[in-house]
Amino acid sequence: MSTLEGAASLVEAPVARYRVAVLGASSLLGKELLAVVRERRFPVSRLVEIEASGTANQDPELPILDLDADPAEKFLNPEIHGDELDFAFIAAPPDPLPSFLRPEFARPAVVIDLEGSLAESGTVAPRIARGGEAASPAPTSAETLRPVIASAHPVTIALSVVLLRLASRFKLRSSVAHVLSPASELGPRAIEELQKQTLNLFSFQKVPQSVFGAQLAFNTLPRLAGVNSQALSGLENRVRGELHRYLAGRTPVPGLRFIQAPVFYSVALSLYVETAAIAAPAAVQQALAGGDVRMRRSADHAPSQVEVTGSDQILIDSVVADAGRKNGLWIWAAIDNLRLAAVNAVQIAEEIARRRAAAASERKAHSS
């Protein structure tokens, strides 16, 4: 066969397309996930959007969009089964749990949990689909079948990328991270309450406190009260557990503290790192730069949560040496928590799809 014929056959080769479900499609994370699926042109033949709420006795209705037939057509199919899906993304706690995710049912679809509700046993290692030192091992063949794949929290991704890149060049003695968490981590009601608190303060009215349990506008909170009293500590515990499982043996796990910040979107990280020997800030910056990490010079303005919104990069300010501890370094970073989480999950699915395509090609080659 000629080179031209070979090229033509590659162009004409059909691309595998997948049946995809998004649980919690109308949540903030679910909407971002759907946007990333479309932007990255993940090969979808059918998209199933499943809401995160429903009755206790039956699965919620499942609007299904058949992308091959008519992008505007939606129809209901309340009885979806696992063998009708290839990938299922968990973007919000499903309530009730759809039948195809229950332990007693077969689950051939690859389940990628962004939210942590299904992969919270502590035995599932989180996956980070980033290049370089922080990349997880390729998914095993078993992971492409039944088990739930835990997509790492965006804070886990950012801290792992930074710490592993540093550990590849310097011996790290210890580190401590303060995470300034946005309202978007708690969902739309938290964003709405922060907005109302801000407006009511300007008009000298009483501020609502049902979500945060206190005034967050123009304030920071080390913990929440009321119905969400466990929300901030729950996020902290999730990330701490993921870091222990992901970093184990490669670099010391950082001390961690989540703080509720009066911002709507995106996370800011203040990371203190202590090296075994003195490390020049310029050398540290060189070790961090590249790939998905964008460094900022000291002459430029510092990265902010406002600036990073909509980006899947990790923005890091110029590294500062601690004035009182000769081996201490301060690193400031900003990430879009929703965007980073969604891109990571879709990249995991893309890697699994590539492995499936390679395995199918290999089987075809052996049979011919």
Q: Is 67 buried (19+), middle (13-18) or exposed (0-12) by CB count in 10 A?
A: middle
Residue 137 binned pLDDT confidence (cut-offs 50, 70, 90)? low
Q: Is the pLDDT of residue 14 over 70?
A: no
pLDDT value at residue 350: 93
Phi and psi at residue 328, in whole multiples of 5°? -95, 140
Is the bond leading into 78 cis (omega within 30 degrees of zero)? Answer: no
Q: Are 215 and 275 members of one domain?
A: yes
pLDDT tens column, 15-32: 678 889 898 888 999 999
Helices vs strands, H then E, count in the chain: 8, 14
Helix (H, G, I), strand (E, B), or coil: what is residue 310?
Answer: coil
How many folded domains does the chain comprise?
Answer: 2
pLDDT value at residue 184: 93
Q: Are 144 and 178 members of one domain?
A: no
Q: Cβ distance 217 to 262 under 8 Å?
A: yes
Does a structural domain hold residue 61?
yes
Q: Are 49 and 79 members of one domain?
A: yes
Q: Are 132 and 184 members of one domain?
A: no
pLDDT value at residue 10: 40
pLDDT value at residue 268: 97
Q: Are 136 and 236 members of one domain?
A: no
Q: What is the mean pLDDT of residues 288-294?
A: 92
Does a structural domain hold residue 197?
yes
Could you tell me the residue range of the domain that residue 122 belongs to?
14-151+342-367
Query: In this structure, what CATH number is given to the domain that contains residue 222?
Result: 3.30.360.10
pLDDT value at residue 46: 86
Q: Are 201 and 104 members of one domain?
A: no
- Hunting for tokens 């499943």 — which residue is that? 50
Distance of CA 210 to the CA centre of its chain: 27
pLDDT value at residue 359: 78
Q: Is the pLDDT of residue 229 over 90?
A: no
Residue 226 binned pLDDT confidence (cut-offs 50, 70, 90)? confident
Q: Is the dihedral of CA 39, 44, 46, 49 positive or negative?
A: negative
Does a structural domain hold residue 1?
no
192: left (phi over 0), alpha (psi -120 to 50) or beta: alpha
Does a structural domain hold residue 216?
yes
Cβ contacts of 334 within 8 Å, gap of 6 or more = 266, 267, 268, 269, 303, 304, 305, 307, 308, 314, 315
Query: In this structure, what CATH number is given to the domain that contains residue 133?
Result: 3.40.50.720
Residue 66 binned pLDDT confidence (cut-offs 50, 70, 90)? very low
Residue 217 binned pLDDT confidence (cut-offs 50, 70, 90)? very high
Q: Are 220 and 251 members of one domain?
A: yes
pLDDT tens column, 317-364: 999 999 999 999 999 999 999 999 999 999 999 999 888 888 777 777
Q: Are 302 and 363 members of one domain?
A: no
Q: Using CA atoms, how far apart are residues 291 and 130, in angstroms rounded to an integer?
A: 9
Taking all residues of the chain, what is their mean pLDDT, rounded to a whole number?
82
Q: Is 99 buried (19+), middle (13-18) or exposed (0-12) by CB count in 10 A?
A: middle
More reliable by pLDDT, 135 or 41: 41
Q: Using CA atoms, how far apart are residues 216 and 180, in angstroms rounded to an integer?
A: 13
- Say if strands 44-50 and 18-23 run parallel, antiparallel, or are unpaired: parallel
pLDDT value at residue 79: 53
pLDDT tens column, 169-197: 999 999 999 999 999 999 899 999 999 99
Q: Are 65 and 130 members of one domain?
A: yes
Q: Cβ distance 197 to 216 under 8 Å?
A: yes
Q: Using CA atoms, how far apart are residues 160 and 131, in angstroms rounded to an integer?
A: 12
pLDDT tens column, 76-130: 344 566 667 889 899 988 766 776 676 656 566 888 999 887 765 555 678 888 7
Distances (CA, A) of 55 to 51, 78, 95, 97: 11, 13, 8, 10
Strand order, beta sheet including 44-50: 74-76, 63-66, 44-50, 18-23, 87-90, 110-113, 148-150
